[in-house]
């Protein structure tokens, strides 16, 4: 899926060799400031490396138009992005941005229910809590249906129980649908529960890559 060779980005990342496998759940851990979000941004082509090679299914992201890459490799940033408007607007906008047809209300409602987000499609997003906004942006991501989900500490705004439910569900969904999941997380429990592979970053370098579930 992704292969990185001698990839450098500023003084932030220096990755000699990293393989991220297709249809696996890879958890990325490491202390604050170690370069985890920067790595996800490289994979999603929000930034470009200064040197080295990155391959996505054998192709260099630099040769893939950004819009088509992001249709396949979608990043959920550390702080959820919510647009002014209703819950429905926020769900449909992802499909619009990726050039896909809108879906009907029952499908949107079923995804919200599945994420235990009990809000009306017509309600305004502004007053939603941080955790609700996060689940809304996860619902938007599920509708866009990328091949690779890049989740940057997706549950930092959720309480422990909700976190378990939401992420376990996303993990189960990824397995059922053959998606590739790359999750930045500080949670050892989450990692033990869902990760196939754990990658640890320190000061921009990969210091370990452990296979938990081959």
Positions touching Mg ion (CB under 5 A) are 37
Q: How many residues does the chain have?
A: 214
Shortest distance (Å) from residue 37 CB to ligand ATP: 3
Shortest distance (Å) from residue 35 CB to ligand ATP: 4
Task: List helix spans (H) across 145-209.
Answer: 160-177, 188-194
Q: Does 203 bind ligand ATP (CB under 6 A)?
A: no
Strand partners, 211: 197
Are 204 and 13 in contact by the 8 Å Cβ rule? The answer is: yes
CA angle 49, 53, 55 (to 5 degrees): 110
Q: Does 85 bind ligand ATP (CB under 6 A)?
A: no
Nearest to 129 by CA among 140, 117, 120: 117
Q: Does 51 bind ligand ATP (CB under 6 A)?
A: no
Residue from 1, 25, 35, 166 touching ligand ATP (CB under 6 A): that is 35
**Residue 166 to residue 176: CA distance in whole angstroms:** 15
Which residue in the shown chain puts its C-beta closest to Mg ion?
A: 37
Q: Does 12 bind ligand ATP (CB under 6 A)?
A: yes
User: For residues 130-189, which are near ligand ATP according to CB under 6 A?
Assistant: none
Phi, psi (5° rounding) for residue 173?
-60, -45
CB under 5 to 8 A by kind: which of Mg ion, ligand ATP, none does 61 bind? none
Which range of residues in 26-34, 50-58, 60-68, 105-113 is near ligand ATP by CB under 6 A? 26-34
Residue from 26, 37, 90, 155 touching ligand ATP (CB under 6 A): that is 37
H or E element at residue 110: helix 105-114
Residues 6+ apart with CB under 8 A from 64: 45, 56
Which range of residues in 35-43, 101-109, 124-132, 171-179 is near ligand ATP by CB under 6 A? 35-43
Site residues (vs ligand ATP, CB under 6 A): 10, 12, 30, 32-38
């Amino acid at each position: 899926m992704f292969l990185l060779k001698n990839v450098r980005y500023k003084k932030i990342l220096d990755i000699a060799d990293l393989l991220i496998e297709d249809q696996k759940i890879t958890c990325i851990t490491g202390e604050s400031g170690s370069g985890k979000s920067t790595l996800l941004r490289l994979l999603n082509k929000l930034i470009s490396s200064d040197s080295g090679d990155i391959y996505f299914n054998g192709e260099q992201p630099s040769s893939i138009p950004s819009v088509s890459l992001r249709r396949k490799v979608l990043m959920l940033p550390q702080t959820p992005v919510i647009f002014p408007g209703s819950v429905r607007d926020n769900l449909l906008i992802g499909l619009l941005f990726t050039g896909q047809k809108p879906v009907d209300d029952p499908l949107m409602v079923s995804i919200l229910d599945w994420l235990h987000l009990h809000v009306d499609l017509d309600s305004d997003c502004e007053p939603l809590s941080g955790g609700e906004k996060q689940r809304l942006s996860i619902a938007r991501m599920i509708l866009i249906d990328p091949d690779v989900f890049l989740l940057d500490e997706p549950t930092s705004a959720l309480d422990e129980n909700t976190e378990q439910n939401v992420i376990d569900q996303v993990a189960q969904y990824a397995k059922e649908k053959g998606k590739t999941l790359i999750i930045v997380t500080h949670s050892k429990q989450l990692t033990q529960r869902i990760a196939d592979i754990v990658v640890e970053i320190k000061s921009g370098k990969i210091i370990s890559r452990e296979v938990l579930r081959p």
